[in-house]
Amino acid sequence: MAAIKRRSSILILLGICFIILLSSGGFFTIYLTHTIGPDAEMINQLGIIRGSIQRFVKFELGGHPDNALIDEIDLKINALNSKKMKIHDRHQEIQCYIGDLKQSCLLLKEAAYEYRKDPSLHNRDLLLEKSEVAWQEANSMVLMSQTLSEKKVGRYRISFIFLGVNLSLGFLMIFLIKRYVKDTLEYLVNYDGLTKLYNRRFFNESLHGEILRAERYERGLSVIMFDIDHFKRVNDTYGHDAGDSVLKELSQLIQKNIRKTDILARLGGEEFAVIVPETWAEGALLLAEKLRDAVARYSFKHAGKITISLGITELAEGDTADVIYKRADMALYEAKSKGRNRSEVKYKKQSMEI
């Protein structure tokens, strides 16, 4: 039961980690996807500005000035300037370049006006110089924006890392959940809910398996069956809660006084049984007396002193699990009928009284 509780706690922690990682990966991917759109729009607008600068200078030198084109460039730069806090993760260098580009376009416009007044060679060279500076500013921003966007796209690898971790964690959780459900079902099927001992179903299966093992290796096998003397009196005097407490205390006391290889089970009510592998009736009788003495000496929390009666038998040739069980039960009945608080051995053809 403790292992099941620990596994339950682990599943809860893994579930919390899974939710956190899944949420983090999802928000990160949404963030990247959300910011790549504005980045692409900025690169497109900068490309238009760069091309417009070339067309503007071409028209000016060709004697066909286009004020609408330079106004369009101003509008696009102002639009970028208003959005610069929302793009490229507030990259300071990008913000500086937008200001520089705006200033270069302003100087280009002034040079164009001067050229219109006086289309001299000096003003022509000045117009070309200013246009080259503005074009270089726009081109640098395009390249820088592309670089930053490529880095963002590269961050998608982190999303795949999140995905890989989430998938691994998910598979681990599925495995642990299956184990948890399996162990929980096995516990519910094989254990007694009150005493946490094995139940009658598990006892029957274990007895059948131990018989096969004892016959294969020609080893001894014994069964001790016992119950609490006058248990009804305990319930009637102290109440059923006190009776349940006695059953729990008795289970713990017996468990401490048997071997790890012995199998202790609650068969129902106040009746218990112990499968004692690799032990003949004589050895099982010694163990039964040890258990009887331990119970007699123990003071139970709600009932004080109680006693138990025990019936012992051993595996004989041709025995089945049902036969052994019935013979142990007969030995227990004899112990009860002969005064209680005693152990009685029942062989296949004879019995021995203690």
Asked whether the CA dihedral 333, 335, 339, 341 is positive or negative, the reply is negative
pLDDT at position 78 is 76
Token output for 62: 């060709």
- Per-residue CA distances from 302 to 175, 230, 243, 244, 310 (Å): 44, 15, 8, 10, 23
Model confidence over 108-145: pLDDT tens digits?
A: 888 888 888 888 888 888 888 888 888 888 888 778 77
Give the end-to-end CA distance of the chain in Å, rounded to a whole number: 38
**CA distances to 143, 223, 295, 301 from 290, in Å:** 89, 15, 9, 21
Averaged confidence pLDDT in the chain: 83
- Residue 227 CB partners (closer than 8 Å, separation 6+): 269, 270, 271, 272, 308, 309, 332, 336
3-state helix/strand/coil string of 270-321: CEEEEEEECCCHHHHHHHHHHHHHHHHHCCECCCECCCEEEEEEECCCCCCH
More reliable by pLDDT, 124 or 18: 124
Write the DSSP symbol of residue 266: E
Q: What is the pLDDT of residue 8?
A: 66
Averaged pLDDT for residues 319-345: 95
For the cut 80, the answer to whether the pLDDT of residue 352 exceeds it is no
Q: What residues pair up with 61 in beta bridges, in sequence order?
A: none
Q: Rounded CA gap, 315 and 118, in Å?
A: 124
Check residue 312 and give left, alpha or beta (phi > 0: left; psi -120 to 50: alpha). Answer: beta
Residue 87 has pLDDT above 90, yes or no: no
Q: Which residues are catalytic?
A: 270
Angle made by CA atoms 98, 104, 110, in degrees to the nearest 5: 140
- Residue 94: what pLDDT? 65
Consecutive H or E run containing 177: helix 156-190
Domains of the chain: 2-160 (1.20.120.230), 200-353 (3.30.70.270)
Give Dmax (Cα) for the chain: 137
Contact criterion met (CB below 8 Å) for 277 and 191: no
Percent of the chain with pLDDT over 90: 42
Could you report the per-residue pLDDT of 8-17, keeping only the tens digit for each?
A: 666 677 677 7
Rounded CA separation 346/314 (Å): 8
- Predicted local confidence at residue 186, as pLDDT: 78
In the block, residue with structure tokens 């016959």? 215
Can you read off the two tokens belonging to residue 114? 């001067």
Cα→Cα distances 37→29, 31, 353, Å: 13, 11, 93
- pLDDT for position 230: 93
What tens digit of pLDDT does each residue of 242-297 get?
A: 999 999 999 999 999 999 999 999 999 999 999 999 999 999 999 999 999 999 99
The side-by-side arrangement of strands in the sheet containing 308-314 is: 263-268, 271-277, 221-228, 308-314, 343-346, 351-353
